[in-house]
Amino acid sequence: MTEARSALIVDDEHDIRELLVLTLGRMGLRTDTAATLAAARQMLAGNRYDLCLTDMRLPDGSGLELVSDISTRFPDTPVAMITAYGNVEAAVEALKAGAFDFVSKPVDINVLRGLVRQALELHARRQAQPEEAGRLLGGSPAMVSLRETIAKVSRSQAPVHISGESGTGKELVARTIHAHGSRANGPFVPVNCGAIPTELMESEFFGHKKGSFTGAHADKPGLFQSADGGTLFLDEVAELPLPMQVKLLRAIQEKKVRPVGAQSEVDVDVRLLSATHKDLGALVNAGSFRHDLYYRINVIELNVPALRDRDGDLSILSEAILSRLAQAMHRTAPKLGPDALAALDAYGFPGNVRELENILERAMAMADGDTITATDLRLPNGGSIASPGRVAAVPGATPASPASLNPRETASSALPSYIEEIERAAIQQALQENKYNKTKAAAALGITFRALRYKLKKLGID
């Protein structure tokens, strides 16, 4: 006979404890209760629980202390915080301390049941796979630290903002967080915020009703509804225009959306992950990104290291990429010659892992035998590109001119023509490195998809 799953309920209000015991009992859980922090610690000393629910304010301390204790001593046990209605600051503090999620008073029974189901699923998953902490390759200190952080944030429902340069693998990190969390069986819905036309954003995010505008021939669910029960990943979140930021903030706070043309709101249950290669803090200071939305999506910040900061990972990554590419081509994986590996080590990789993949795929096509040489890599400018920092958060800014352009050799007498030549060279290089995927090329250049489309038309690039 399977042993009943158990929960610890910590609250000094008798009525709240009775409500929680009744609700969890009907879900098949055995419950223990405690009215104080000391009593809760005593219960934890002699028992193991699948879940803990604790109030924020206790007679002899804060529930945050209990959250911290459980996160440290029993990392596989999800703990949820009960907070006063509207106390967003307390909820954020609980998530940062390691809480799985939070529920507000007065307790909504349906919300509570959903939280409990997700927490139990997460606990069971971690018991079955206690050592698995992600599939991001690399043994460098930076990657070891990243995987450890991913393992921690996967335990909670807290919004996570993933920062890092273009091509570092921010979406892979988001997918790993989703795969190791309680929502792994739910949908993972990625969206590139820079690729959605402004006039269609509200409809894309929240859905629309038939006839709500010209072309709305049928009801359509939005991205929030599509991600219900799972994870919504907002890539390049810095590209959201200010009016959409306001609507997104409300959807996150209320956990409800109103489809365009609808008379009522729809409940949605999503975990929000976001990413950008830009500096959101700088954008907030510049007034182009709302500070309230910034703090809401940036409860936990996770930085993905650049490839040049991952000492010793280059050969491991290269071997894995070549093996995967060879398998797709049904051929034997080639080896990197000593000169090729030395050339890669000396290269700055402004496009990070994505650029490494493109370089190796090209080298496989160019290599004559089973060994890739430095010549086969065809690194830009002989591999002397400088290592960039984070792309400046300046809308519509163009990248620095490629080192191969010499002003005295290529510039015409007119300054505008010279600038166009620089832009054309940079855009063509970005398109080549991203296999002519315009969305990815725009991200690599640090401009919006619409800005790239405009420049392609202006410069006559097919």
Tell me: the pLDDT tens digits for 212-251?
A: 777 777 888 889 999 998 999 999 999 999 999 999 998 9
Range from 59-68, 263-272, 392-401 carrying the lowest mean pLDDT: 392-401
In terms of pLDDT, which residue wins out, 317 or 401?
317
Residue 130 and residue 149: Cα distance in Å, rounded?
15
Structure tokens, 52:
């803990």
In terms of pLDDT, which residue wins out, 86 or 63?
63
Residue 169 and residue 192: Cα distance in Å, rounded?
14
Report the predicted TM-score, pTM, of the whole model to 2 decimal places.
0.62
Cis peptide before 159 (omega within 30 of 0): no
Which residue do the tokens 């999503």 mark? Answer: 270
Residue of 149, 135, 145 whose CA lies nearest to 310:
145
Residue of 231, 300, 235 whose CA lies nearest to 272:
231
Residue pair 293/245 in contact by the 8 Å Cβ criterion = yes
Q: Is the pLDDT of residue 168 over 50?
A: yes
Residue 43 and residue 33: Cα distance in Å, rounded?
9
Residue 49 and residue 330: Cα distance in Å, rounded?
49
Alpha carbon 273 to chain centroid distance? 4
Mean pLDDT score of the chain: 82
The confidence band for 131, taking pLDDT boundaries of 50, 70 and 90, is very low
Structure tokens, 451:
């800005």
Per-residue model confidence (pLDDT) at position 224: 92
What does the angle CA 434 – CA 358 – CA 275 come to, to the nearest 5 degrees?
55
Q: Maximum Cα–Cα distance for the chain, whole Å?
A: 86
Amino acid making up residue 355:
E
Residue of 249, 182, 175, 259 whose CA lies nearest to 225:
259
Q: Is the pLDDT of residue 57 over 60?
A: yes
Task: State the first-to-last Cα distance of the chain, in angstroms, to the nearest integer.
Answer: 67
Pairing of strands 160-163, 300-303: parallel
Please state the φ and ψ torsions of residue 89, each to the nearest 5 degrees: -60, -45
Residue 67 and residue 98: Cα distance in Å, rounded?
6
Amino acid making up residue 416:
P
For helices 314-329 and 352-366, the axis angle rounded to 10 degrees is 50
Entry field: residues in the chain: 462
Please state the φ and ψ torsions of residue 406, each to the nearest 5 degrees: -105, 120
Residue pair 205/222 in contact by the 8 Å Cβ criterion = yes
Residue 388 and residue 403: Cα distance in Å, rounded?
13
Q: Is the pLDDT of residue 348 over 50?
A: yes
Structure tokens, 271:
């975990």
DSSP H or E segment with residue 92: helix 88-97
Amino acid making up residue 385:
I
- pLDDT, one tens digit per residue, over 79-107 is 888 887 556 677 777 777 778 788 888 88
DSSP H or E segment with residue 20: helix 14-26
Residue 271 and residue 156: Cα distance in Å, rounded?
10
In terms of pLDDT, which residue wins out, 244 or 264?
244
- Using the CB atoms, write b or e for 270-281: b if 16+ within 10 Å: bbbbbbbbbbbe
Residue of 370, 379, 308 whose CA lies nearest to 138:
308
**Overall average pLDDT of the 138-160 stretch:** 87
For residue 86, what is the DSSP state?
A: T
* Residues 6+ positions from 357 with CB-CB distance below 8 Å: 321
* Residues 6+ positions from 80 with CB-CB distance below 8 Å: 51, 52, 53, 54, 99, 100, 101, 102, 103, 115, 119
DSSP H or E segment with residue 233: strand 231-235
Residue 4 and residue 271: Cα distance in Å, rounded?
28
For residue 301, what is the DSSP state?
A: E
- pLDDT, one tens digit per residue, over 375-432 is 888 887 655 444 444 443 433 344 444 444 444 344 333 445 556 677 788 888 888 8
DSSP-assigned beta bridge partners for residue 192 = 235
In terms of pLDDT, which residue wins out, 42 or 395?
42
Task: For the chain, list the domains and their CATH numbers.
Answer: 6-128 (3.40.50.2300), 141-303 (3.40.50.300), 307-383 (1.10.8.60), 407-459 (1.10.10.60)
Per-residue model confidence (pLDDT) at position 124: 66
DSSP-assigned beta bridge partners for residue 58 = 61
